[in-house]
Amino acid sequence: MNPSIATDPAVENETSTRFRTCPLCEACCGLEITVKHDAAAGDQIVRIRGDRNDPHSQGFICPKGSTLKQLHEDPDRLTSPVVRDQSAGGTGWREVSWLEAFELIESRLTPIIEAHGRNAVATVLGNPNVHNLGGQLYLGAFLKALGSTQIYSASTVDQMPKHVTSGLMWGDPNMFPLPDIRRTDYLLMLGANPWVSNGSLATIPDWPGHLEKLVERGGSMVVVDPRRTRTAAHATEHLTITPGSDAVWLLAIINELFAADLVSLGRLQDHIAGVEDVKAAVAEFSPERAEATCGIDAATTRRIAHELAAAEHAVVYGRMGNHTVRFGSTASWAADVINALTGNLDAEGGVVFNGAPTTREPDGEPGGRGFTLGRWTSPVTGSPEIKGEFPAARLAEECEGSGDGTDKIRAMFLMACNPVRSFPNSQRLNQALGNLDLLVAVDPYINASSRHADVILPPLSALERSHYDMVFETNMIRSFARYSPPTLPPAAGAVDEPQILSQLALIALGFGAAADPALAHAQVLDAFLDRELASATSPIHGRDKDDILAELAQWNWAEQIIDLRLRVGRHGDGFGTNPDGLTLHKLANDHPSGIDFGPVPPRFPAGIKTESGRVELAPPSIIADIGLLAEADLAPPTDGLMLIGRRDLRSCNTWMGNVDVLVKGKEKCTLEVHPDDATRLHLTEGGQATITSRVGAVTAPVQVTTDVMPGVVCLPFGHGHDEAGIEMHVARSRPGVNSNRLTDDRIIDPLSGNAVLNGIPVTVTPA
Ligand SMILES: Nc1nc2c(c(=O)[nH]1)N[C@H]1C(S)=C(S)[C@@H](COP(=O)(O)OP(=O)(O)OC[C@H]3O[C@@H](n4cnc5c(=O)[nH]c(N)nc54)[C@H](O)[C@@H]3O)O[C@H]1N2
Ligand SMILES: Nc1nc2c(c(=O)[nH]1)N[C@H]1C(S)=C(S)[C@@H](COP(=O)(O)OP(=O)(O)OC[C@H]3O[C@@H](n4cnc5c(=O)[nH]c(N)nc54)[C@H](O)[C@@H]3O)O[C@H]1N2
Ligand code: SF4
Ligand SMILES: [Mo]
């Protein structure tokens, strides 16, 4: 498709080396892939290892990176569209052509829209969308074409609090505060386990290696987690905390910063508003009060506050465990308030903001449109919109409808999402998906969610497509660019995800299943280009559009957009204004392992986009939430237990359980129980326990361990692969149980709409 990328000559039976970025998690590691040319069987993957020439990942990979081969070769991976057809016998699925699949979608979707309106059709977006070019570039066109407000995503079972507080505090919900762990002296980390997850909302390949270096250079790494994780085991200090109570503890640290006169705003002194309001809001949250709620003694809390203030470079970083709780937004906010009050906001070794190669330096005066929540509400539950979507925890209710059901969701597009495993109260959602009039899944597998589909459209395997990380490059603490051409040619007749999503956009617009998907691409490209031509700071401001299009004509599809963005970006050739600058051609041919542009530069104050042009330290909605926090009872229950989740290094959310090399060995889906609780509840190592919450019950083997704190039990997320109709045969043989049968869809963090996935009240009994 893109002939100007240099490829190696394919000599029969000889091997060659190709490079690409691993798309499986946020670390974005470079891979070096050895391919053997075989005319009969097609190119074969011989070996995948870390790319030592990648200036970012320097050869680091985790055990998942090399399994792109197994994923590619997985016989359960769909390679052509399938439609539900019970008369077909076997699995009840029939392979169809792409045209037939699209025609079926068109014929079923159009009458639903005509009879019930566009809000009768929901789109549910999963995590892999941010890891592939289809999701990154073409989903927007589909959502716009569909014109429904019924949009849901994995963001509200994950990081939405950080979007919301970033929006409220500096006006840009997508500008995450990135922990500069390579230059810090003191890391306070809550609810994150990068030794296993490889880091999140901070794309830093080899987090573990960088944290080991932090400790080696005499720095501190304080981990706050109810569980002694692998990360906690490497920390200079591990504090256990009552699940769900991080916000109270962080407010107590802020309280102490004021009480002990430790506040020092540093460089941004004149650009931060609301300091006195913060002081007033945290007045009640003394370290003594936090001790009763969180279980961390007051003296330790005070000491940590003093250490944060004294360190030359310190950073507070919270992730999943910190965000997927009732007060997740306030916890997210509090972490960044501490960063600001200690002079570590937008500062080396504190939190930094991205300066990706495809962006330009902010210039001029600070200030912008700010960030608004609740611009519209959902049809059934009246949930306020957050960043254009509604809470995942409300999806089942929106499908069920209210009253006579005229407002319910009748059709759904599942875009790389497995909500029957990943959203709370998954059984309710399982039923809801089964009752839809039309379900279309864009997914490589027939899994717990897509088994309810009428049509499944499979993407190419990761090795068959090109790749560029537009989302994650903006989460990097060093500015970095890397482009990956396809490693293998796509299977005959296969369709790449950009084309799948473009075709669906055209169907939603009424152009039909046979329309040329390139029409949709042209619109996407046009929108990017028009924005650049109109922007006064763009190197192509006012240039002739056709000239630019002519230069981009050497590429197709996503590559045109990547090339455009690189060339107008901070290192770009500006289409001639900076002839030595970056182009996709240069990146692809001269730097197959990527280019590192060094640490990101400071972005504030010019990059502050609030209406006031100042960092808003005390947004009214957060201050109101603190009022509710003051009244909430977050102390651990005296009877019962609190359930938390965990990840495994060899897992990737819900979907990699079909890779034999990752799932073999010891049973991973166990309920971890502290010995004191095990004795009290008559639970024995290896015995079965039934875990019951308000919404459901599951039975899992018990693992007695001091890794979890007393009163807390821990069950991993992403399992439960043995239900009827799931066509993942390796996963079926090691099914485990689905922890989201226990999580409660009734409780959310109202400010962000985020689901509560940790600190679930449960009872546990021997089964
Ligand atoms: N209890 C509990 N629940 C959780 C979590 C937790 O910690 N505890 N974690 C939450 C988090 S952080 C997240 S991000 C979500 C994830 O939730 P989801 O996004 O629903 O889950 P995933 O397993 O990441 O993948 C979704 C689907 O994408 C498909 N897929 C894989 N690659 C591709 C591709 O290239 N294209 C397409 N079209 N499809 C692809 C997979 O087959 C799978 O069906 O789960 C959340 N749910
Ligand atoms: N191997 C692997 N890597 C992954 C994934 C995977 O499934 N497997 N998923 C990817 C995705 S989509 C994401 S979002 C990231 C997530 O990566 P992380 O944000 O690092 O999330 P987790 O690994 O789930 O770790 C969350 C931690 O929070 C703790 N915790 C639970 N409740 C609380 C609480 O109330 N307070 C505090 N302080 N801690 C609490 C848990 O014990 C756990 O150790 O990982 C990514 N990387
Ligand atoms: S840490 Fe593992 S899964 Fe994540 S990008 Fe690197 S190799 Fe891939
Ligand atoms: Mo996630």
Percentage of residues of the chain with pLDDT beyond 70: 98
What's the rounded Cα separation, in Å, for the pair 49 and 14?
A: 18
pLDDT for residue 363 is more than 90: no
Phi and psi at residue 253, in whole multiples of 5°? -65, -45
Mean pLDDT for the chain overall: 96
Distance 192 CA to ligand 2 centre (A): 5
pLDDT reported for residue 88: 66
The 10s digit of each residue's pLDDT in 396-427 is: 999 999 988 899 999 999 999 999 999 999 99
pLDDT for residue 11 is more than 80: no
Distance 740 CA to ligand 1 centre (A): 13
What's the rounded Cα separation, in Å, for the pair 628 and 661?
A: 47
CA atoms within 13 A on the CB side of 268: 31
Kindly state if the Cβ of 325 falls inside 6 Å of ligand 2. yes
Ligand 1, residues at Cβ distance < 6 Å: 126-128, 132, 154, 157-158, 320, 416-419, 422, 442-445, 447, 459, 497, 645, 653-655, 717, 739-740, 743, 757
pLDDT reported for residue 6: 45
Check: CB of residue 559 under 8 Å from CB of residue 583: no
The 10s digit of each residue's pLDDT in 304-345 is: 999 999 999 999 999 999 999 999 999 999 999 999 999 999
Kindly state if the Cβ of 198 falls inside 6 Å of ligand 3. yes
- CA-nearest residue for atom 39, ligand 1, is 416
pLDDT for residue 66 is more than 50: yes
- Best of 29, 57, 60 to mutate for ligand 3, by most ligand atoms within 8 A of CB? 29
DSSP 699: E
The 10s digit of each residue's pLDDT in 147-165 is: 999 999 999 999 999 999 9
The 10s digit of each residue's pLDDT in 273-304 is: 999 999 999 999 999 999 999 999 999 999 99
- Best of 72, 156, 417, 463 to mutate for ligand 1, by most ligand atoms within 8 A of CB? 417
Check: CB of residue 409 under 8 Å from CB of residue 150: yes
- CA-nearest residue for atom 26, ligand 1, is 417
Q: How many CB atoms are closer than 10 A to CB 329?
A: 28
pLDDT for residue 657 is more than 60: yes
- pLDDT-derived band of residue 10, with 50, 70 and 90 as boundaries? low
DSSP 189: E
- pLDDT-derived band of residue 355, with 50, 70 and 90 as boundaries? confident
b vs e for 667-705, b when ≥16 Cβ sit within 10 Å of the residue's Cβ?
A: ebbbbbbbeebbeebebeeeeebebbbebbebebbbbbb
The 10s digit of each residue's pLDDT in 379-404 is: 999 999 999 999 999 999 999 999 88
Ligand nearest to the CA of 29: 3
The sign of the torsion formed by the CA atoms of 5, 9, 13, 17 equals negative
Distance 113 CA to ligand 4 centre (A): 32
b vs e for 137-170, b when ≥16 Cβ sit within 10 Å of the residue's Cβ?
A: bbbebbbebbebbbbbbbbbbbbbbbbbbbbbbb
The 10s digit of each residue's pLDDT in 584-630 is: 999 999 999 999 999 999 999 999 999 999 999 999 999 999 999 99
The kind and range of the H/E element at 623 are helix 620-631
Integer angstrom CA distances of residue 401 from 4, 378, 390, 439: 52, 11, 15, 17
6 against 678, higher pLDDT: 678
Nearest atom, ligand 3, residue 24 CA = 3
Distance 50 CA to ligand 3 centre (A): 9
- CA-nearest residue for atom 3, ligand 2, is 197
Distance 547 CA to ligand 2 centre (A): 47
Nearest atom, ligand 1, residue 415 CA = 38
Average pLDDT of the residues in 630-636:
91
pLDDT for residue 1 is more than 70: no
